[in-house]
Amino acid sequence: MHRHIPSLLLGGITLAACQRPCPAGSTLGPTGLCALPPTADTNAAPLDLTQRELDAALELRAQGIPDSPTNAFADNTDAIALGHWLFYDARLSRSGLFRCASCHDPHQDFQDGKRVSDDGESLVHRNTPTATNGPLYQWLYWGGRCDSLWCQAANPIENDLEMNSTRLEVAHVVHDDPSLADAYEALFEPLPDMSDPRFPATGRPDRKAPNTEDARNWATLSQSDQDSVSGVLANVAKALAAYERQLVRLEAPFDTWVDGLQDGDPDKLAALSPSAVRGFSLFVGDAGCVQCHGGPLFTYEEHINTGLGPRAWLLTEDTGRWDGLVELMYEDFSTFGPWSDDPTVGDALLAEVGTEPTPEQVGTFRTPSLRNVALSAPYMHGGHFETLEEVVQFYIFLDEEPLYGARDDRLQPLDLSPRDASDLVAFLESLTGAPPDESLFDPPESPWAD
């Protein structure tokens, strides 16, 4: 459904990148952006670390996976097995052609490697985030329209641009497959009798298009039946989230190096190259990256306007967090909603972030984790850049103008050399953790735990 952006927002749109001359030492590249020349001498001796840098290293070291109190099945072995099955089950899409794994390819670090996703029923005008390390996030999606991993797992199933199914179809799929139904009921609760003709084949609530066949079908159900069917999708999402909680890549070379800083083990200290160590010093120092990419996840999960200009493959009417917070308020499967296993968690979150978007949030997008960032190209919410080198150069020059609003004040052009840029990339590459168990990368033989 086409959305119209209020006229007060459209006044701030600039549809072309800034054409200022490139700074000294750089040239205009084929993408129309300024770029530094290649560098050498990336293996010179690393800098000595200050106490401030040592403290910063400890603050960035990986920690464990947080609990998920709104999903009572988050760490249940049977839920993990069921979610593993469902992640690869194309019957969750209306056409029967798409699975969660279609856009979150296990063999591409659980993303699709494209600028924007076209692996669903239609084109999604945003880059597909990796599902790796999903359980570490508070906010999911680039605009933060979901506040938990299980909320995010439910959304693509009914999104008409992704799997384009409905909660009635999902309930029929689970009910009509004896093995799947048994696994579901052993874990959750009895399914509604989907063989009863009062349950249409398709149907979902749709506040934006209440006159579609799916919305009309949904309206024929009693409130009790609607709750039963919605509960099935909620449980399916919680099982999917339980599986996705296994898709964690932590304990990167950087973390080994931090351990070496603490215990003096020379083998651990050798986990980072001299170039990467220099890059770390820049990251927490002169480059200022840690202002937004701090903490063990290398993000504070803020929604920030980085000042990116337009791209031919992106929608111009994408307001990011402004729209995401509106969507969250209508979200059935939020942490404060009826299917949350601890709605007090969601209530506290709402008290913190508020329930109404502000003009300052227009054009802001979630700051992603930098852990495993070397595996998740293309980069930014719209796949703006193909390489980490391009990303670093963007932040050095900041030679674009944002579509909406103004760039965050913390972002200023940087006086960095080509070697500095190379060192930052080397540091970012050191954040790649060990992969999950290979058994998670392929469909299981059944929805049951071994």
> How far apart (Å, rounded) are the C-alpha atoms in residues 400 and 406?
11
Whether 43 and 208 have beta carbons less than 8 Å apart is answered as no
Question: Helix crossing, 167-176 with 223-244: angle to 10°?
Answer: 70
- Provide the pLDDT for residue 26: 60
Q: Which of 189, 216, 248 is the last residue of a domain?
A: 248
Read off the amino acid at residue 158. Answer: E
- Provide the pLDDT for residue 321: 97
The full length of the chain comes to 450
Residue 104 counted as domain residue: yes
Asked if 103 and 115 sit in the same domain, the reply is yes
Asked if 144 and 216 sit in the same domain, the reply is yes
The segments of the chain whose pLDDT lies below 50 read 1-19, 40-45
Q: How many CA atoms lie within 13 A of 222 on its CB side?
A: 5
* Residue-range definition of the domain harbouring residue 163: 77-248
Structure tokens at 194: 């989907």
The neighbouring-strand residues paired with 445 are: none
Residue 187 counted as domain residue: yes
Residue 169 counted as domain residue: yes
Q: How many CA atoms lie within 13 A of 27 on its CB side?
A: 4
- Provide the pLDDT for residue 339: 97
- Provide the pLDDT for residue 322: 95
Q: Which of 227, 248, 269 is the last residue of a domain?
A: 248
Number of independent structural domains in the chain: 2
Closest CA to 89 of 445, 376, 422: 445
> How far apart (Å, rounded) are the C-alpha atoms in residues 184 and 447?
9
What are the C-alpha distances in Å from 283 to residues 50, 299, 367, 392, 439? Answer: 14, 13, 16, 11, 35
Asked if 285 and 226 sit in the same domain, the reply is no
Asked if 311 and 183 sit in the same domain, the reply is no
What DSSP character marks residue 121?
S
Sign for the pseudo-dihedral over CA of 114, 120, 125, 127: negative
Whether 94 and 164 have beta carbons less than 8 Å apart is answered as yes
- Provide the pLDDT for residue 273: 97
Structure tokens at 369: 């984790």
> How far apart (Å, rounded) are the C-alpha atoms in residues 383 and 51?
37
Residue that has been written with the tokens 């050798």 in this structure? 270
Residue 448 counted as domain residue: no
The alpha-helical segments, DSSP class H, found in 300-362 are 321-329, 343-353
Contacts of 24 (CB under 8 A, 6+ apart): none
Closest CA to 37 of 449, 446, 424, 420: 420
Residue 350 counted as domain residue: no
Asked if 60 and 173 sit in the same domain, the reply is no
Asked if 24 and 170 sit in the same domain, the reply is no
- Provide the pLDDT for residue 122: 84
Residue 278 counted as domain residue: yes
Contacts of 11 (CB under 8 A, 6+ apart): none
Residue 342 counted as domain residue: no
What DSSP character marks residue 385?
B
Asked if 175 and 87 sit in the same domain, the reply is yes
Reduced to 3 states (helix: H, G, I; strand: E, B; else coil), residue 113 is coil
Residue 2 counted as domain residue: no
Asked if 183 and 215 sit in the same domain, the reply is yes
Give the DSSP per-residue string, 266-312. HHHHTTS-HHHHHHHHHHHTTT-GGGTS-TTTT----EE-------T
- Provide the pLDDT for residue 41: 45
Asked if 170 and 194 sit in the same domain, the reply is yes
What DSSP character marks residue 432?
P
Asked if 112 and 227 sit in the same domain, the reply is yes
Asked if 99 and 231 sit in the same domain, the reply is yes
Structure tokens at 384: 């703006």
Closest CA to 233 of 178, 154, 176, 177: 154
Contacts of 276 (CB under 8 A, 6+ apart): 253, 254, 423, 426, 427, 429, 430
- Provide the pLDDT for residue 23: 54
Asked if 94 and 160 sit in the same domain, the reply is yes
CATH number assigned to the domain comprising residue 293: 1.10.760.10
